[in-house]
Every structure is written in C-alpha cells, then in structure tokens.
Amino acid sequence: MGRLTRAEAQERNRAKVLVAARDEFTERGFRDAKIDSIAERAELTRGAVYSNFPGKRALYFSVLADLAENAPDPPQPDPGHTARAALGAVGRVWVTRLPLTTDGSARLGMDLMPEVLTDERTRQPFAQLMKLDAILLGLALERLRPRTNGRLVRVAETVLTTLHGASQMAYAAPGFVEPFDIVSACEQLADLELDDGWPPPHIPYVPQAHPVDEPWSPPRAVDAVRGEPARLSDDGVVAILGLHRLEAAEEAVRAAPPEATVTAVLVTSDPDELAPLARLALADLCGVLRQAFPRSAWPRLQVIHDASGTLARAAGVSAVSDATETAVRVKAGRLTARAEGRGACHAAASTSVENLTPPAVRPCEGYAIPLDTSRQGEKR
C-alpha cells in the first residue's frame, strides 16, 4: 500500500477521532467526556484532535450529525397518502428512535438541547433550522391536502413541537412517554385549523432583482431532503442562505413559478460548529420525511449543505455569513438574475426573467461599459 497523502492522512485521523469521540460520549456523556481521553482512544495526540475540531462541542455536534446521516432505517411504515396517514407514519418513525432508558447509547443525545441553549450563537441558528424543518414538513403536507390558499407550515410546527417535546421527556423521565399516544396525537394534528395563510413578505425595503448573464457551473452536491444528487442544472431559483435567514427559503418556494426548481444552499461563518448542527437538524427530519411520505409528496425544495462555500462562490457570493441572503435565477445553464439582502429570495423568485433587460453597453477601448440609462435626458 502506498504512502498516504496529507489529505488522506487527515481524513483518516478525522474518522478515528469521530469514532473515539462517539465511544467517549456514549460512556461518559458530553459533560464528563475529556479531549485527552478521546485522543488516547484514537491513538492520536491532543493536538491532532484539535487540528480537526476546534472544541468539544464542535466534535459532539459532528458525532451526532454523522450518526443521524448514517442511521439505518427502522422498519419502514407504509407511506401515507393523506395528511393524516402521513403524520401517523411520521409519529411511528419518530417514536422508534426514542430512548427507553438513559443508559448506554441513549446517553449520547441527552446533552444536545442543553448545549444549544448555552449560547446565542447556537440558539438563533437552531431556531431557524427548526423553521426550515417545519417548512419542509408543511410543504409535504400541502401536497397531500391541497386547498385554496392552504398553508400547513404552522400545523407542521405544532407536530415538530410535539415530537421534540416527546424526545426531551423521554430523556428527562424515561418511561413517561407513551409512544402510541404520540402517534395518535400526530394523526389528529392533521385536522388542526390554524388559519394559516401566506401573506406577502412584510419587508420595508425589498431589493430588486437585477439582470445578469453569467455562466452557471455549480459543483456536484447532495440534496439533503432526498439523499441524492441535487438537480442544480434545472431552471429555477438558487438561494444562498446563512443560518440566520433560513425561513426565507419559503419565500422562494411561494413566489417561484410552479415549474421552477427551488434550492436552498446553507452557509455559515462558523462551519466547524454550526455546519454539523445544521446537518443534524436536517438529517433527523428528512430521514423521517422520506419514509413517511410518498415520493410524489416530497417537498418542492432542495436543501444543500455548503460548509466550504464552494457552491456559494459559483453563484457569485464570495463571502458568506450567517446573515447572508442572496438568490439567483438559473435558465438554460446560465445565471440570468440576482438579488441580494433581506427579501432577495422573494425578489429573485417573483421576477419575470423574460422581462429583465440587460444593461446597455458601449464599446470603449476593448471594454464593455454599462450605460447609466436612468439619467438619460438630463441637462448636462
């Protein structure tokens, strides 16, 4: 066997750290786990652990995310072809994951919520991740229960509140939660009427989408919703969203033409800690969606994790933060429109690309200079 490259060695060490950390967190829990013990289990130095993960919490989130993304599917229920049946299936899949005790592997997830609560840097992104989960679940429900101006995102929020509450009670009071009651409650929530509508975004200043003509050569990526390669060459809307702006994904879905493919690309200024938290939150929900809903009802939204910012740069976003909101329109393999700032998703999705007029140009020593047509006719 040949000598490993530096990248291969780093990847191998990262995998060893994750396995060692999983064992340490399982045996001792997050609070009592020690980086030195993790390094010893991995047969690496303490420095090697920190070269892959900046701290224990980032490592903890990464362990949970890897487990969620690679968890074997439980016995699969028949997908529901009505909203009520689908929510019953959601409940059944969810309760199979509830810990029966707080010993052994069940201890691994006990400290997730306390760690999220300890810091505003994790609370705000987590709140937006829950919003995105509710949007995905609500969009799937709407495809099974279509109605005039019917929005079911608030019903989805209520379902997720019930399910996450059941999880926390299972940790705090083992044996208290009756799984069959949770399934029954989810089924009945399908008939809940919450007067949920979709008003236009209440934004004081909505940016205008401006025409562009740029090549669109996105890297390959995986759609976290479907667990398969994302369809990035399709005509549609691509939204680059920081973890404080995830709810804007719904604006793109509601405003885009019915035939458009809508993609949310998740970026963050803290990829070491917040990116695995995002992977965990989406994997928990999307794994359930794929089992509980027929494929025809899967939400009309692709979600891509872009921790490195590679896809964002392909869309013309060179620097990202958790407040990023930029949306582009894709048509025939090119970027045809772009909007930036709060409200960009709505602006780019609702703009008629055919009516956008590219900026006028005039030749000047080999360069194309945009003409400022807005000032034509003024006295000089």
Listed by start position, the domains of the chain span 6-52, 83-355
pTM of the model: 0.89
3-class SS string, the chain: CCCCCHHHHHHHHHHHHHHHHHHHHHHHHHHHCCHHHHHHHHCCCHHHHHHHCCCHHHHHHHHHHHHHHCCCCCCCCCCCCCHHHHHHHHHHHHHCCCCCCCCHHHHHHCCHHHHHHCCHHHHHHHHHHHHHHHHHHHHHHHHHCCCCCCCCHHHHHHHHHHHHHHHHHHHHCCCCCCHHHHHHHHHHHCCCCCCCCCCCCCCCCCCCCEEEEEECCCCCCEECCCCEECCCCCCEEEEEEECCCHHHHHHHHHHCCCCCEEEEEEECCCCCCHHHHHHHHHHHHHHHHHHHCCHHHCCCCEEEECCCCHHHHHCCCCCCCCCCEEEEEEECCEEEEEEECCCHHHHHHHCCHHHCCCCCEEEECCEEEECCHHHCCCCC
Distance (Å) of CA 98 to CA 68, 84, 95, 172, 334: 13, 22, 5, 12, 46
Determine the pLDDT at residue 7: 79
Answer whether 69's CB lies under 8 Å from 279's CB.
Answer: yes
Amino acid at 233: S
pLDDT score recorded for residue 167 = 93
pLDDT at 207: 80
Architecture of domain 83-355: 3-Layer(aba) Sandwich (3.40)
User: Mean pLDDT for each 10-residue chunk of the chain (380 residues)?
Assistant: 75 94 93 95 94 94 94 72 95 87 69 92 97 98 78 96 94 89 96 84 74 96 97 97 98 95 98 97 95 95 97 96 98 97 94 56 34 37
The pLDDT assigned to 148 comes to 55
The pLDDT value recorded for residue 177 is 87
Please provide the CATH number assigned to the domain covering 6-52: 1.10.10
CB 91 within 8 A of CB 186: yes
pLDDT score at 144: 93
